[in-house]
Structure 1
């Protein structure tokens, strides 16, 4: 397929006339086309296509059709039918009423090109540039970020199902690429064990029987891998993707000593971020947050939240389910900086903030990161009457720390903690600490003096200031605005299926999230044009009754 970029044509006269007659009050796509014009253009996607060959469908139309598809939760077939049959879609896409559209497979091919060319972000960024040019979006306002879990497009498997399905997937793949060789390697009982997919109800009952069954699957898997490794004439079998996956799964889940195979104990397993649970989407990982567990991904949404403008999603990140939120704050700031859309204030929950980020956000991007920092968990702070770290005065130039009893430290040792972070370890003298009347408020050690571990100066001071500031009414009022991102996640989940991945793999899932964010922005801008106010948090009639008399 080749591309010769063309200008976006105007809406055909007949399409315009019929659309106005059919929608006298207009609708979201007609208003979108009238207000925004052409959001996308062919040149934006030109790097995805060669210049010679059969002409491709216009990529600006495919991009816009993709956004409308995700706005309505349509399958590829349904979206292609909508292009053919719906007047409002033809209006938005500048098509004649008689235009037959395109085959549904063109949409999946276009998504594949976007991913291969790393241009999926343009589905959102081109739209943001339109909003910015019209004054609906500006940098250095307020933005907020939060995440939610995303379920992979696979069934949830327990460990026994997972190893069995991985071996079965390898056998199915080898049955296609090397059927004759495979028949010489397996025994008839393998067809009983792996001929159909493993289901919980078909598995042995009882812990001992399950352990025996797991060991049998493990032995079969090692037998297959050994046969592949021993076949010098078919080295290429080692490169079959599902065989590599089988090898990785067996390294994670099994041990083999003197040909004795057993399933690893829970303590022997790699971390959730290293292992995978299904051969059908090895990029989907196990996630756990409070009482919620899932297999899949996380999606992080960042949106504007200034009261005088529409609330628009400015950035989307899709990550492994096991990746902590705090690791995404810096990448989000870097991405917003690349778009020239950095906020002056970034509202986040406790998962996105630490002392290092408080400092780096301000120094590198001039962003005030606002969120509840981790409280001091020392017994002195929890007792609310002991001498916690805030009670000690630090003279950084003199490398002197003064305690509440006016004694100073005797050591100052810069070092790194077990996570590799720079810290300063401080000791006080035993002759001062042992007879000190403040000792019960300072340390529980029987004879040893008080010790402190300080973060680097900027982080130490930022953390103490943040802990003090977040107790004020002004901070509470500012931070209350962050709660609105929960409504954005709710809208994405309920109206746009944000929490359920349509596709396998993180790249395709991320494209889904980007397209979903763009679709949400279109709906939000339209609601803003129509004067529809932001919905308030819903409460039950009974709770509302209490509020009315309180």
Structure 2
């Protein structure tokens, strides 16, 4: 379908009259339209549509429908029905009362255009642009970020199911692309073995029989890969994503031997994040955080938190589940800068804070990262009588360190590591070996002297200052602002289905998170315009007795 831009125009008179009679005070959707019009224009999506061909249904309407769909948690069919039958939707979309709407599959096609065009956050970003022009969103304000886990949309497979289903997915892909090659080649027994979805109850019951079955699956997989490699004319088939996944799975789980195939032991498989669980969503990986385990993704939400303006979500960042929170800081700051909403103060928890992030000189935008830095992990910092690093006097100019007993270090070595520079400080063995307070300083049973690992001076002093400040009441009062992001995550999970991915793949999960963020912004903005106060933290009746 091609794009023939259409302005959103005025609401048909009859539609406006009937809608106003039915909703005399308006509702969320109508109030948003009254304040901002349609939010989107067809030109915002011009790059996603060809110039020639059958005219497409107006993209600005599809964009609004997608946001309203997430606002009310509707399916594609439900959203299409709402366009045909609901007065408030016709009002917001400037449609006639008798407009017949569209087929629900148009919404899926529209989302596919967003993903294929690498603009999964276009709906959110265009909305933020309008809000910024209206003065509801500003740069150099206060923002906060936190993450939550998102479960994959496909079922989690056992190892046995995973291997058989990966081979089955490869066969289905080949049957779709080149059935004429596959049908005469494939052994007859494979139709019975891989013709149906693999589930646990279809597997052999005993452990020995299951091992025999998996070895057979491994041999079948290698046989298929060998057949594809031996024929030079099958380049297209070898490049199919399902074949790449089959090759990767067999590399991890099987070892070819002269007498057959050996299934690798679980200890040989390597870390979980290197392996996919399902061929239908290979980007969904395993992760564990404290006592929570899941397969899927992680979404970082960033929102404004200025007192005088509505709290709007400014960015969502979707990553594989195993990725550390601290790795999200740079892409989040880059995205906020591109949207012209760079914060002056950014509130985060300790998982996002590195020593380097505390120094504004390392951030081109000068954003102050406000969050607690992790405690010193060494045992000396946990015992009150032990000598932690803070007990030593450091002379940076002389490149020397003096211990609590007055001994001066013997060596000062600067080492360049892949991601950082460290300074190794060593004391003389003769000073430490017979030291009367040695047990308070080191537990090295081999008699070696105490060694310290330091950061460069600027980083070391910034970390020390942060650890000192974050225990004071002024810093704690200021940092209390970060806690509100947990309410946003709760709202996304409980009211908008953030916890469960609707679609397969990281980019489609990013699209879902972006649409969900736009829907939350609509609700919050209308609440702010109507003067509805923000919710406060709920306190149980028992906890309230303290006051």
State whether residues 330 and 357 of structure 1, in contact with CA within 8 Å, keep that contact through their aligned partners in structure 2.
no
Match of 2:541 among 534, 541, 544: 544
State whether residues 410 and 427 of structure 2, in contact with CA within 8 Å, keep that contact through their aligned partners in structure 1.
yes
State whether residues 185 and 227 of structure 1, in contact with CA within 8 Å, keep that contact through their aligned partners in structure 2.
no
* Aligned residue in 2 for 1:445: 444
Query: Quick check: 1:358 aligned with 2:358?
Result: yes
CA distance in 2 between partners of 1:377 and 1:494 (Å) = 36
CA distance in 2 between partners of 1:360 and 1:230 (Å) = 57
Q: Residues 180 and 49 of structure 1: is their aligned pair in 2 closer, same or farther, counting only changes over 3 Å?
A: closer
Secondary structure of 1:409's counterpart equals: coil
Query: Quick check: 1:17 aligned with 2:42?
Result: no
* Aligned residue in 2 for 1:83: 83
* Aligned residue in 2 for 1:264: 264
Q: Residues 339 and 240 of structure 1: is their aligned pair in 2 closer, same or farther, counting only changes over 3 Å?
A: closer
* Aligned residue in 1 for 2:472: 472
CA distance in 2 between partners of 1:314 and 1:235 (Å) = 44
CA distance in 2 between partners of 1:165 and 1:524 (Å) = 44
Alpha-carbon shift at residue 325 of structure 1 (Å): 1.0
CA distance in 1 between partners of 2:27 and 2:344 (Å) = 35
CA distance in 1 between partners of 2:92 and 2:132 (Å) = 21
* Aligned residue in 2 for 1:522: 522
Q: Residues 41 and 183 of structure 1: is their aligned pair in 2 closer, same or farther, counting only changes over 3 Å?
A: closer
Secondary structure of 1:98's counterpart equals: coil
Alpha-carbon shift at residue 7 of structure 1 (Å): 2.7
Alpha-carbon shift at residue 347 of structure 1 (Å): 1.4
- 1:211-222 alignment, distance < 5 Å: 211-222=211-222
- 1:167-178 alignment, distance < 5 Å: 167-178=167-178
CA distance in 1 between partners of 2:369 and 2:462 (Å) = 11
* Aligned residue in 1 for 2:332: 332
CA distance in 2 between partners of 1:499 and 1:197 (Å) = 26
Instruction: Please list every run of 5 or more consecutive structure 1 residues that lacks an aligned counterpart in the other structure.
Output: none
CA distance in 1 between partners of 2:52 and 2:121 (Å) = 26
Q: Residues 160 and 64 of structure 1: is their aligned pair in 2 closer, same or farther, counting only changes over 3 Å?
A: same
Alpha-carbon shift at residue 363 of structure 1 (Å): 4.0
Query: Quick check: 1:228 aligned with 2:228?
Result: yes
User: Once structures 1 and 2 are overlaid, which stretch shifts more, 378-387 or 21-30?
Assistant: 378-387
CA distance in 1 between partners of 2:542 and 2:226 (Å) = 70
State whether residues 144 and 482 of structure 2, in contact with CA within 8 Å, keep that contact through their aligned partners in structure 1.
yes
Q: What's the C-alpha RMSD, in Å, of the aligned pairs? A: 2.0
CA distance in 1 between partners of 2:461 and 2:18 (Å) = 66
CA distance in 2 between partners of 1:545 and 1:252 (Å) = 53
- 1:280-429 alignment, distance < 5 Å: 280-359=280-359, 363-417=363-417, 420-429=419-428
CA distance in 2 between partners of 1:421 and 1:133 (Å) = 41
CA distance in 1 between partners of 2:65 and 2:390 (Å) = 57
Alpha-carbon shift at residue 467 of structure 1 (Å): 1.3
* Aligned residue in 2 for 1:246: 246
* Aligned residue in 2 for 1:210: 210
State whether residues 80 and 104 of structure 1, in contact with CA within 8 Å, keep that contact through their aligned partners in structure 2.
yes
State whether residues 360 and 368 of structure 2, in contact with CA within 8 Å, keep that contact through their aligned partners in structure 1.
no
Query: What are the superposed Cα offsets for residues 326-360 of structure 1, whole Å, 9 maximum, x if unpaired?
Result: 10011111111111212222111221112122236
* Aligned residue in 1 for 2:279: 279
Alpha-carbon shift at residue 374 of structure 1 (Å): 1.4
For these two proteins, the number of residue pairs brought into alignment is: 546
Q: Residues 546 and 514 of structure 1: is their aligned pair in 2 closer, same or farther, counting only changes over 3 Å?
A: closer
State whether residues 353 and 373 of structure 1, in contact with CA within 8 Å, keep that contact through their aligned partners in structure 2.
yes
Secondary structure of 1:57's counterpart equals: coil
CA distance in 1 between partners of 2:120 and 2:196 (Å) = 37
Alpha-carbon shift at residue 26 of structure 1 (Å): 0.8
Secondary structure of 2:234's counterpart equals: helix
CA distance in 2 between partners of 1:314 and 1:259 (Å) = 58
Query: What are the superposed Cα offsets for residues 103-146 of structure 1, whole Å, 9 maximum, x if unpaired?
Result: 22221222122222223322111111222222222222221111
* Aligned residue in 2 for 1:144: 144
Alpha-carbon shift at residue 34 of structure 1 (Å): 0.7
Query: What are the superposed Cα offsets for residues 233-259 of structure 1, whole Å, 9 maximum, x if unpaired?
Result: 434331233222211211122111224
CA distance in 1 between partners of 2:62 and 2:332 (Å) = 28
CA distance in 1 between partners of 2:543 and 2:328 (Å) = 40
Query: What are the superposed Cα offsets for residues 268-319 of structure 1, whole Å, 9 maximum, x if unpaired?
Result: 2243332211111112111221222222111110011222221110110011
TM-score normalised by length of structure 1: 0.94
Secondary structure of 1:91's counterpart equals: helix
Instruction: Please list every run of 5 or more consecutive structure 2 residues that lacks an aligned counterpart in the other structure.
Output: none
Query: Quick check: 1:532 aligned with 2:532?
Result: yes
Secondary structure of 2:262's counterpart equals: strand
Alpha-carbon shift at residue 520 of structure 1 (Å): 0.5
State whether residues 120 and 507 of structure 2, in contact with CA within 8 Å, keep that contact through their aligned partners in structure 1.
no
* Aligned residue in 2 for 1:121: 121
State whether residues 325 and 352 of structure 1, in contact with CA within 8 Å, keep that contact through their aligned partners in structure 2.
yes
